Amino acid sequence: MNLPIRPRRLRKSAEIRDLVRENSVTPQDLVQPLFVIDGSGPAEEIASMPGQRRLTISQLVAECRELYEAGIRGVALFPKLDARLKDPRGTEALSKKTLILRAVRAVKAAVPKLLLFTDIALDPYTSHGHDGVLTEDGSDVDNDATVEILCKMALLHAEAGVDFVAPSDMMDGRIGAIRAALDATGYEGTGLLAYSAKFSSAYYGPFRDAVGSASAAGTTLLNKDTYQLDPANARAAAREVALDEAEGADIVMVKPAGPYLDILRQTRTATNLPVAAYQVSGEYSQIVAAAQMGWLDRERTRDESLLAIKRAGADIILSYFAGEIARQGV
């Protein structure tokens, strides 16, 4: 064939493919989510997330030190509380001695340069499993009452030394309110990662098991449609991102990542802020489970899924694969 243009010339060797590769995922792009529990017992395996564990504070510190030495620069911390500490208003979230604050202080003391992101939402603390307090009739989450609590929660986290508070609740106006509260109390240097386009997704089930909000609610299928985004709506996601940017977010995020690559690309095009994406528990677990059955190559599928997220426009990827990638030197 007389073909002057042969694209395969750029694919004929590993060296050429490396030379012309457009996107790559490095440990510095990744944030590892970690789960913390109280006490001094053994780590708890999370059945719905094979390979992930709930760690005591001392185990968490050791893990964070290893992750930083392997090249991971940030971790996102999530507490699993004893059910006896939960109530309808999530009161434990505002305790100065609550688990997550003790964990933050311990990690910062041991690995001060590791970036800490902490979740600002009430679902690990409420007995009903929702991200905020309920209205009087219990039919919905009370937006403004929840935002008031979240502002107090964010201040406690900033005081403990987190680098970024990360509101994941999807209440209206919470980014501006939290930013104003932080700035008014001398924490203008604390960053704000906004879960801006967080969809009401079926992919969150294993996470809800991991933090215990599923057991609190009695189901992993807890309906959060009145505050999380409708999976059908791209324009609504764009509006949320624009609002969060205008209200003072430092980083905006799309969650989940893999099923919403179009939203991720849309977000990357619309803003000059750093864009994060969360490869959520369901994305992780389906890859791991299929690999355990021998249906998929774990590493190749893992790496392809992360490349897709990076290619779509993510600057930062929260992924449960982060630690293993860094330790493998990928």
Residue spans of the domains in the chain: they are 23-328
With 0-12 CB in 10 A as exposed, 13-18 as middle and 19+ as buried, what is 66?
middle
**Rounded CA gap, 254 and 198, in Å?**
6
Packing angle between helix 234-247 and helix 174-184, nearest 10 degrees? 10
**Residue 330: band (very low, low, confident or very high) from pLDDT cuts 50, 70, 90:** low
Q: Is residue 39 left, alpha or beta, with left meaning phi > 0 and alpha meaning psi from -120 to 50?
A: left
Q: Would you state the pLDDT for residue 214? A: 66
**Residue 216: band (very low, low, confident or very high) from pLDDT cuts 50, 70, 90:** low
Residue 224 half-sphere exposure toward CB, CA atoms < 13 A: 33
Q: List residues with catalytic annotation.
A: 198, 255
Name the β-bridge partners of 87.
126
Q: What is the pLDDT of residues 147-162, one digit of tens each?
A: 999 999 999 999 999 9
Do the beta carbons of residue 229 and residue 198 sit within 8 Å? yes
**Rounded CA gap, 130 and 123, in Å?**
5
Query: Which CATH number describes the domain made up of 23-328?
Result: 3.20.20.70
Do the beta carbons of residue 222 and residue 213 sit within 8 Å? yes
DSSP 8-state secondary structure symbol assigned to residue 114: S
Q: What is the pLDDT of residues 96-118, one digit of tens each?
A: 999 999 999 999 999 999 999 99
**Rounded CA gap, 35 and 27, in Å?**
20
**Residue 274: band (very low, low, confident or very high) from pLDDT cuts 50, 70, 90:** very high
Do the beta carbons of residue 198 and residue 228 sit within 8 Å? yes
Res. 11: pLDDT tops 70? yes
What are the φ/ψ torsions at residue 185 (nearest 5 degrees)? -115, 20
